[in-house]
């Protein structure tokens, strides 16, 4: 078997004390670094714990391309600026962060196993044995495992459900999701955070984190696809029966639209980004199509350094690239169940483009909405937007780490390094995850 990325500190004290009093989430993207610090308020009686944002910051990203760190020193400076600003606002020092994984070509492996129990009631021992069978022959090669999560059970080839303990069956099947990534990008992320004197409290794939911030329980149950349109790439995650089915990424995002505008209109990239943000649209037949915009010409100065461009011309550049992005999403997810593909929730900066819902519905033939970040006390309106769904979702996931596999991955690291204690470790994380 392969190895699990050793990004996890010793969390025994945290497990004993429960959820920590303060949680910090860090979204290291290709365009921006976002940091949220929250204080955890214990719920009274049967009320759940709640969060209150006490510090936040967004800074320009450096040293990151397509979600992968390519310059550790530059990325370190960008992370330090964001974390330091959030610390000053909160009046608290950060020593551990929950961080997203955007690069590294994440791959989801769905492992299954089954066993006959001869009409007996399902016991925890059966689940332990199935987990061991599912993971026994898994080999990620040179890739690193970053997340392991139980993904449901089936009784006598029936529907996938959560915990089947106590139910009767002849044949019991188990499904386990394992997420692996390339070794290099993860090591570079670890190196960057260590240089910032930060530990990693947990990791989560960016689209899965974004889903935590925007999906409803019914969407997770009925089936839904989340597409997180970032600057340099788009991540997606599929859910059904309240379980993660699969997640992935492809290298196409909002910055490609910006570059198309810059090249097509012969204008600086900074101006192209401004045009996309303020005037960009893929909405056909808009009343503003004939509006004329005055923009600078690349490399020109003086009276001849400006040109007039209609909003219709801008739309003509943006629309084909967004259609390509949606068609690529359709291609990458074509194998998923129809119940998942018929419902799409968009997050990320690209989800804020005018007309993107209508365009996606036309290209994909699905019901589409833009994901609104669920309310968190103290979260400013400027951060309660699709572009920051990932960092908000990391905070939500940190409140229930076992449900996302953070603790599971830490235990799996020990499993894979100590074959003699393999079955015992499987039992431990499997029980904690249900």
- Kindly report, residue by residue over 84-113, the tens digit of the pLDDT: 999 999 999 999 999 988 877 877 788 888
Residue that the structure tokens 């893929």 belong to:
282
What's residue 353's pLDDT? 94
Which single residue is written with the structure tokens 């990004």? 7
Distance in angstroms (rounded) separating the CA atoms of residues 210 and 230: 11
Q: What are 115's strand-pairing partners?
A: 172
Instruction: Report the mean per-residue pLDDT for the chain.
Output: 84
Using CA atoms in the order 126, 129, 131, 135, what is the torsion angle rounded to 10 degrees?
-160
Summarize pLDDT for 171-184 with one digit per residue, the tens.
999 888 787 888 88
pLDDT at 401 over 60: no
Q: Check residue 429 and give its pLDDT.
A: 44
Interhelix angle 422-432/406-417, rounded to 10 degrees, is: 170
CB distance 389 to 397 below 8 Å: no
Q: How far apart are CA 129 and CA 3, in angstroms?
A: 21
- Tokens, residue 247: 């997640």
pLDDT at position 20: 60
If you classify domain 213-253+323-370 with CATH, what class do you get?
A: alpha beta
What pLDDT does residue 192 have?
Answer: 93
Between residues 425 and 175, the one the model is more confident about: 175
Asked if 342 and 366 touch (Cβ cutoff 8 Å), the reply is yes
Which of the residue ranges 109-113, 175-179, 359-363, 366-370 would you say has the lowest mean pLDDT? 175-179
Question: pLDDT band for position 201 (50/70/90)?
Answer: confident
Domain boundaries, the chain: 3-105+184-206+397-402, 107-181+412-432, 213-253+323-370, 254-319
**What pLDDT is attached to residue 320?**
96
Same fold, 3-105+184-206+397-402 and 213-253+323-370: yes
Residue 416 has pLDDT above 50, yes or no: no
pLDDT band at 406 (very low <50, low <70, confident <90, very high): very low
The DSSP secondary structure of 271-296, one letter per residue, reads HHHHHHHHH-B--TT-TTTT-EEEEE
Are the beta carbons of 100 and 403 closer than 8 angstroms? no
pLDDT, tens digit, 9 for 90 and up, residues 210-240: 999 999 999 999 999 999 999 999 999 999 8
- Residue 271 has a pLDDT of 95
Q: Could you tell me which CATH class the domain 107-181+412-432 is placed in? A: alpha beta
Query: Domain 254-319, CATH 1.10.10.10 — does that match?
Result: no
Confidence of residue 287 (pLDDT cuts 50, 70, 90): low
In CATH, what class is 3-105+184-206+397-402? Answer: alpha beta
- The strand order across the sheet containing 50-60 reads 50-60, 32-41, 22-28, 96-101, 199-205
């Amino acid at each position: 078997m392969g190895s699990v990325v050793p990004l996890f500190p010793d969390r025994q004290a945290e497990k004993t004390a429960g959820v920590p009093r303060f949680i910090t989430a860090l979204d290291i993207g290709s365009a921006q670094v976002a940091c949220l610090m929250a204080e955890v308020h214990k719920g009274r009686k049967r009320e759940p714990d709640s969060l209150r944002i006490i510090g936040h910051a967004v800074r320009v990203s450096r040293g990151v391309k397509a979600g992968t760190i390519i310059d550790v020193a530059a990325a370190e400076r960008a992370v330090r600026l964001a974390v330091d600003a959030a610390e000053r606002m909160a009046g608290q020092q950060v020593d551990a962060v929950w961080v997203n994984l955007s690069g590294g070509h994440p791959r989801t492996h769905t492992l299954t196993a089954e066993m006959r129990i001869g009409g007996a009631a399902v016991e925890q021992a059966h689940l332990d044995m199935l987990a061991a069978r599912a993971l026994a022959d898994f080999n990620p090669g040179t890739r690193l495992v970053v997340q392991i999560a139980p993904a449901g059970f089936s009784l006598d080839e029936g529907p996938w459900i959560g915990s089947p303990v106590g139910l009767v069956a002849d044949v019991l099947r188990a499904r386990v999701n394992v997420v692996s990534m390339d070794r290099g990008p993860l090591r570079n992320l670890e190196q960057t955070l260590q240089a910032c004197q930060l530990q990693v409290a947990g990791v989560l794939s960016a689209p899965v984190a974004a889903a935590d911030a925007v999906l409803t329980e019914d969407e997770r149950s009925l089936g839904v696809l989340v597409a997180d349109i970032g600057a340099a790439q788009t991540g997606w995650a599929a859910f059904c029966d309240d379980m993660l089915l699969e997640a992935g990424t492809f290298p196409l995002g909002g910055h490609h639209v910006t570059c198309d505008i810059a090249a097509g209109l012969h204008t600086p990239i900074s101006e192209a980004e401004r045009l996309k943000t303020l005037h960009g649209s893929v909405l056909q037949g808009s009343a503003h199509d004939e509006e004329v915009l005055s923009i600078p010409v690349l490399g020109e100065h003086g009276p001849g350094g400006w040109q007039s461009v209609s909003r219709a011309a801008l739309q003509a550049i943006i629309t084909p690239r967004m259609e390509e992005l949606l068609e690529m999403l359709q291609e990458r997810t074509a194998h998923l169940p129809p119940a998942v593909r018929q419902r799409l929730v968009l997050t990320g900066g690209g989800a804020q483009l005018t007309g993107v819902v209508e365009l996606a519905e036309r290209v994909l033939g699905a019901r589409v909405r833009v994901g609104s970040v669920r309310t968190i006390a103290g979260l400013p309106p400027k951060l309660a937007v699709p572009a920051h769904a990932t960092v908000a979702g990391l905070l939500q996931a940190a409140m229930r780490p076992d449900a996302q596999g953070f603790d599971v991955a830490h235990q799996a690291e020990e499993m894979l390094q100590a074959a003699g204690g393999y079955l015992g470790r499987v039992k431990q994380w499997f029980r904690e995850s249900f």
